[in-house]
């Protein structure tokens, strides 16, 4: 795992580019404490920070081909690099290290853009062709690893693994984009390709870009549509599916557990992480280290369940107790580390710190299982809404508008319903709307007149419907969760928070062969209404603690609603003060403060996420304006 950066320019001299790349490298030291490098070839200057995972003694970057044509900087892990190496060696290429970077470089040199569809892993890389003066940028199929780009008025290009690094170059202005702010209020994150800053964009999952003669062309090499249409024979029976899923899971765990440094895992009291740890322990080897978070607040902590799972599976378990006061003490550091504002990720920040302190460099996470096996409420809600929408549309137009206007002035639930009925024009839109945070009417009320001049409605995209014209509601909801909430919130935050502690976080459920195989299987085998993730449970049942599936279910959440009325309250009072809100230049102080007062006076345990997200956004914006 690494941080990469680069500056491509015909107008800026090499010494200026090298200085900017050095500043970007310095800003990403946490991403790669083991090594750093930078070099220049003509108009291209590339840099990197390395967290050594494969062949730690070698693999220095930037790495170049023997003929001096190709040069690469790479962040991530290519899990099938041994197979690719054999194929490339058969084609006459030789290798001098045991690291995946050299194989990736050889693959790009041999196949060019065609190498992308052959890669299994998480990655973002930049490869410079010194003969053709072309830069190839690419991001993995699911967006596990980030890649940000900025083009300048003089025809130059800068890229980096983190937005903070781009800003550290001194060549990228930190101008907050009001449209991105509006998007953040909708989705708890700024969806790619937008970022929180004007004129800085993120490559989407499965995209690559070619920089040639001052022009950046962005293209797509893989989408979920490719998984949906893959040449895989569906299983014929539930039993056949369960056996097949077990084989797929064993393959992905075996692949993701390979490293030349210590590997551990996050472990909660739930199914997803326990399944991963159970499969990892089945592989044998040294005793696995596992890590979890617990809380003092009753009803929130899974510490006892996680410890019970660890005892059953025989892991060396490390449990950390997280308190609201500790979060309050660390907030300045956490907000300074953020690339973009987010209402999520605090748990990953602390469990990653525990894992790194506990002696591992790589940790596996259960992220992705909910998206694949129907673990979210959206899998229940979308079919219900789809059944009622035809009835709604039969109502007279005037009546519908009157009801929408009334609900838009109501509580959070009614406002969200109004948005869903207004914009839920397809099954894809219905699924995407499940992740709306602030309703449209609320967003409008929070923004001041200046921000409203750049306001964007953000209608839900119907691209998914075009990709999967005959897909059922389960698949559409799964696809929406994978390309929306997972990519823009969970994976992005997981990268930022884990890499802040120099920890490589791997997500074996988000694996190309597994996702592709599942996409071709009948929904009835993958999902049973009322029994979310039962297919996953059946595939690993023989490995799980006997009482795991009969324990009362609880979604993992931090006790924020309590902390925000206790140790986090001073931070929130400061963020929502008239001076703070006005300083941001984006919000109506009166509306923001009214929202905060309603939270303090209310009893809705789910409202905390909206209030917290808003406070982080205001604090982030003010951090940049300071």
Distance between CA atoms of 344 and 189, rounded to whole angstroms?
9
Give the C-alpha distances (Å, rounded to integers) separating 426 from 102, 420, 431, 433: 45, 10, 9, 10
Which contacts (CB < 8 Å, 24+ apart) does range 405-410 have? Answer: 408/439, 408/440, 408/441, 409/441
Q: Which of 352, 338, 353 is nearest to 165 (CA)?
A: 338
Distance between CA atoms of 354 and 322, rounded to whole angstroms?
11
Q: Which of 128, 1, 140, 2 is nearest to 65 (CA)?
A: 128
Give the C-alpha distances (Å, rounded to integers) separating 70 from 63, 140, 320: 8, 20, 46
Question: Helices (DSSP H) in 440-588: which residue ranges?
Answer: 440-446, 449-452, 463-467, 473-481, 492-499, 512-519, 523-526, 534-540, 560-563, 569-575, 578-584
Are the beta carbons of 592 and 446 closer than 8 angstroms?
yes
- Sorted by sequence, the CB contacts under 8 Å of residue 112 that are 6+ apart come out as 136
Two tokens at 266? 């996050």
Which contacts (CB < 8 Å, 24+ apart) does range 258-261 have? Answer: 258/79, 259/53, 259/54, 259/361, 259/362, 259/504, 260/52, 260/53, 260/54, 260/55, 260/56, 260/98, 261/52, 261/53, 261/56, 261/360, 261/361, 261/362
Containing 293, the helix (H) or strand (E) segment is strand 289-294
Q: Is 2 a catalytic residue?
A: yes
Are the beta carbons of 478 and 369 closer than 8 angstroms?
no
- Sorted by sequence, the CB contacts under 8 Å of residue 275 that are 6+ apart come out as 249, 366, 369, 536, 537, 540, 543, 544
Catalytic residue, chosen from 2, 196, 421, 480, is 2
Distance between CA atoms of 372 and 379, rounded to whole angstroms?
11
Q: Which of 223, 69, 87 is nearest to 136 (CA)?
A: 69
Containing 357, the helix (H) or strand (E) segment is helix 346-357
Two tokens at 423? 């914009």
7, β-bridge pairs = 45, 158
530: left (phi over 0), alpha (psi -120 to 50) or beta: left
Catalytic residue IDs: 2
């Amino acid at each position: 795992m690494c941080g990469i950066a680069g500056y491509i320019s015909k107008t800026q001299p090499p010494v200026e580019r090298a200085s900017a790349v050095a500043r970007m490298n310095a800003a990403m030291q946490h991403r790669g404490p083991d090594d750093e490098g930078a070099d220049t070839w003509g108009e291209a200057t590339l840099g990197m920070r390395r967290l050594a995972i494969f062949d730690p003694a070698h693999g220095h970057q930037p790495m170049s081909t023997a003929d001096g044509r190709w040069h690469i900087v790479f962040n991530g892990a290519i899990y099938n690099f041994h197979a690719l190496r054999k194929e490339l060696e058969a084609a006459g290429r030789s290798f001098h290290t045991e690291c995946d970077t050299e194989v990736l470089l050889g693959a790009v040199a041999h196949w060019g853009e065609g190498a992308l569809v052959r890669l299994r892993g998480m990655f973002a890389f930049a490869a410079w062709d010194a003969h053709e003066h072309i830069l190839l940028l690419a991001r993995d199929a699911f967006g596990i690893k980030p890649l940000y780009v900025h083009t300048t008025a003089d025809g130059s290009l800068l890229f980096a693994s983190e937005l903070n690094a781009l800003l550290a170059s001194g060549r990228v202005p930190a101008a907050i984009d009001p449209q991105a702010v509006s998007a953040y209020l909708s989705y708890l994150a700024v969806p790619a390709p937008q970022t929180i800053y004007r004129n800085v964009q993120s490559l989407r999952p499965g995209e690559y870009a070619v920089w040639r003669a001052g022009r950046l062309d962005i293209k797509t090499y893989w989408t979920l549509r490719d998984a949906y249409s893959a040449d895989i024979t569906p299983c014929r029976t539930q039993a056949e599916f369960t056996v097949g899923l077990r084989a797929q899971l064993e393959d992905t765990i075996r692949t993701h557990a390979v490293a030349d440094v210590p590997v551990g895992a996050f472990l909660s009291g739930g199914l997803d992480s326990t399944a991963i740890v159970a499969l990892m322990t089945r592989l044998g080897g040294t005793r696995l280290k596992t890590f979890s978070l617990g809380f003092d607040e009753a009803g929130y902590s899974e510490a006892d369940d996680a410890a019970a799972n660890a005892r059953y599976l025989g892991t060396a378990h490390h449990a950390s107790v997280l308190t609201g006061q500790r979060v309050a003490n660390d907030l300045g550091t956490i907000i300074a580390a953020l690339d973009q504002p987010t209402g999520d990720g605090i748990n990953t920040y602390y469990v990653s710190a525990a894992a790194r302190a506990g002696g591992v460099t790589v940790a596996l996470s259960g992220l992705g299982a909910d998206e694949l096996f129907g673990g979210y409420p959206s899998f229940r809600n979308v079919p219900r809404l789809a059944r009622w929408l035809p009835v709604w549309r039969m109502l007279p137009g005037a009546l519908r508008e009157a009801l929408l206007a009334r609900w838009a002035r109501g509580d959070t639930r009614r406002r969200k319903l109004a948005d869903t009925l207004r914009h839920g024009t397809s099954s894809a839109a219905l699924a995407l709307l499940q992740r709306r945070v602030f309703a449209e009417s609320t967003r409008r009320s929070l923004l001041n007149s200046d921000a409203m001049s750049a306001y964007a409605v953000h209608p839900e995209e119907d691209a998914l419907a075009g990709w999967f014209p005959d897909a059922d509601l389960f698949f559409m909801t799964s696809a929406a969760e994978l390309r929306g909430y997972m990519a823009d919130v969970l994976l992005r935050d997981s990268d930022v928070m884990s890499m802040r502690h120099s920890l490589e976080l791997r997500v074996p459920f988000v694996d190309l062969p597994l996702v592709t195989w599942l996409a071709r299987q009948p929904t009835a085998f993958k999902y049973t209404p009322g029994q979310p993730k039962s297919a996953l449970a059946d595939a690993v049942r023989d490995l799980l603690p006997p009482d795991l599936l009969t324990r009362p279910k609880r979604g993992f959440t931090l006790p924020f609603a309590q902390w925000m009325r206790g140790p986090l309250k001073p931070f929130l009072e400061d963020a929502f003060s008239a001076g703070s809100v006005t300083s941001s230049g984006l919000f109506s102080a009166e509306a923001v403060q009214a929202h905060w007062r309603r939270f303090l006076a209310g009893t809705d345990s789910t409202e905390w996420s909206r209030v917290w997200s808003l406070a982080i956004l205001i604090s982030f914006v003010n951090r940049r304006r300071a």
